[in-house]
Structure 1
Amino acid sequence: MAQCLLWLGLALLGALHTQAQDSTSTLVPAPPLRNVPRQPHFQDDQFQGKWYVLGLAGNEINKEKHRQFKVYTTTYKLNEDYTYSYNVTSTLAWNLNCSHWFRTFDRTSFPGLYTLGNIEWYTGIQRYVLRVASTDYKKFAMVFFKKIVKQQAYFTVALYGRTIELTPELKENFTSFVKSMGLRDEHIIFSIPIDECMDK
């Protein structure tokens, strides 16, 4: 049960570990990391704190299948060891409880680019990276996730907000951004607002 919940948390973070709908050949190809925008002059300390996950888009996401996707929180906290890695906690409503998932993302030599620090916990994942593509630190962020599983690349983009409100402008900007990566409307989902677990 714990392993199942752990995988669910990873999936909600944009690293869905399911089979492609038909076969991997039908997946939208994951863009090379060099083609993914990155936030100029990324500020680790300003990015930390609580974010609400307002939207997800990815080559394994299916709007019909994930239509009951509920908003959840992800909190980034800089490690106190001055390595500028993050301890990350996600909290969401699950089976009438508030479930928590903990991960570490280690900073690389490139600002705004991180690797999953405890990757050995996730069987089959060969590589997993996070890049902050765009943020104003105070209202929104778009975060790109890419994982390699059995030589197949999967990617997800998460839309974060500092509040639970999803404005039409933010929704439009996110949609345009992920479509520029080859994703289509059926690959994009927006969360259902809820009150449970938002302040846990």
Structure 2
Amino acid sequence: MGPLCLLWLLLTLRVLQAQTPNSLPKPPYMQSFQMDQFQGEWFVLGLAGNTFRKEHRALLKPFTTTFEVNKDGHVLMSSAMMRAQRCDTWSYILVPGTQPGQFTVDRNRASGVDRGEIQVVNTDYTSFALLLAHRWAGSQAIISTSLLGRSWVLPPGTLGKFICLGRMQGFSEDNVVFPDVTGQVTC
């Protein structure tokens, strides 16, 4: 674990002593986030969340997520995953927030999710990105992190950054899932 991750973890643990699970600290915002460089297709290489368990690992198939700025300045986030013999797709509109790389998720009320936020925590735009998502379904907070890649190969240290971000959110290794890419294709 690197010194920055260790520092974040120690600070987080001190803050957590006085907080509930619904009010976990968020990492700092990227001050120089550039949506025009971020948009495009990404492979989802790893997920971690407070609702994931070991038994969910077999359910995650390789999938892609595409970010595209529309004419309103909002971002269409579209995902596609092969399940059995069909391609499942889903999408959300992301409304830029007050901080760089922060978005409010414009969800359909029928989805059962009241509101959501997504934050791009770190990216180099060409090979990896780390996202943090907070959603609320009623009074339940659903927190997740995503490891994205432009390809299936990541720069050294990226996996450690993903694990560190998950630990900041209170996740254990049981809360981390990686897609099984053996013989799988994306839509």
Q: Same fold (TM over 0.5)?
A: yes
Find the aligned partners of 1:62 and 1:166 in 2 and give their Cα distance: 24
1:117 has 2:109 as partner: no
Please give the TM-score of this superposition, normalised by the length of structure 2.
0.80
Aligned counterpart, 2:38: 47
Q: CA deviation at 1:180?
A: 2.3
Find the aligned partners of 1:109 and 1:173 in 2 and give their Cα distance: 25
Whether the 8 Å CA contact 2:145–2:165 is kept in 1: the answer is no
1:184 has 2:172 as partner: yes
Q: CA deviation at 1:142?
A: 0.6
Whether the 8 Å CA contact 2:62–2:184 is kept in 1: the answer is no
1:73 has 2:64 as partner: yes
Letter in 2 for 1:165: V
Identity %: 29
Letter in 2 for 1:164: W
Aligned counterpart, 2:17: none
Aligned counterpart, 1:29: 21
Residues 179, 59 of structure 1: CA spacing in aligned structure 2 closer, same or farther, 3 A cutoff? same
Aligned counterpart, 2:51: 60
Find the aligned partners of 1:168 and 1:184 in 2 and give their Cα distance: 22
Q: CA deviation at 1:37?
A: 2.9
Structure 1 residue runs without a partner (length 5+): 1-27
Residues 116, 102 of structure 1: CA spacing in aligned structure 2 closer, same or farther, 3 A cutoff? same
Aligned counterpart, 1:104: 93
Aligned counterpart, 1:147: 135
Aligned counterpart, 2:4: none
Aligned counterpart, 1:130: 118
Deviations 1:96-136 (A, max 9, x none): 1122212211112222111112332322x222111111111
Q: CA deviation at 1:63?
A: 2.2
Whether the 8 Å CA contact 1:103–1:118 is kept in 2: the answer is yes
Give the number of aligned pairs: 168
Deviations 1:129-162 (A, max 9, x none): 1111111111101111111112121100010000
Q: Quick check: 113-122 or 161-170, which moved more?
A: 161-170
1:89 has 2:89 as partner: no
Whether the 8 Å CA contact 1:57–1:189 is kept in 2: the answer is yes
Q: CA deviation at 1:196?
A: 5.0
| 1:37 counterpart SS class | coil
Aligned counterpart, 1:14: none
Find the aligned partners of 1:149 and 1:74 in 2 and give their Cα distance: 22
1:170 has 2:172 as partner: no
Structure 2 residue runs without a partner (length 5+): 1-19
Aligned counterpart, 2:144: 156
